[in-house]
Structure 1
Amino acid sequence: MTIALEQIRQMPVVQRIQLVEDIWDSMVAEDVDFPLSSAQLAELDERRAAMAADSSIGIPWAEAKARLLAGQ
């Protein structure tokens, strides 16, 4: 199946999010290693430290996903 970028842009946001999830799931299913840059690793370390220091930072993935799908 080939989908042109213009076709994707015309899809409702909820469908585009689902498409991204489907694409991501297909890559994860292939057990591909995604190397991170040193800048990305440093950012993750900073975020982990911030979360460890204050557990009220952020929201659970299920809540974030629900907000995205609701268009918030």
Structure 2
Amino acid sequence: MTVRQILEEAKRLEPVERAELLEQLFATFETADPTVDAAWASEVEERLTAYRAGEIEAVPFDEVLDRVNKGKKR
């Protein structure tokens, strides 16, 4: 399976499932600073809690990807 195929499948997931997937993917990277891992875990939990409480809305992945790609072109 290619990265593009995986991405297309991931885009079909619910926002919460995509967040969980990201968290698990990030966990596969080795980091030199456990403080960074703890900070990211805290951020993910806060965002997930806010999403579930209706305090924030999900942004479609295509929109996020467009924003990232526009930033690369600068």
The bucket for the TM-score relative to the shorter chain is 0.3 to 0.5
TM-score normalised by length of structure 2: 0.42
Greater relative CO (CA pairs within 8 A, separation 6+) = 1
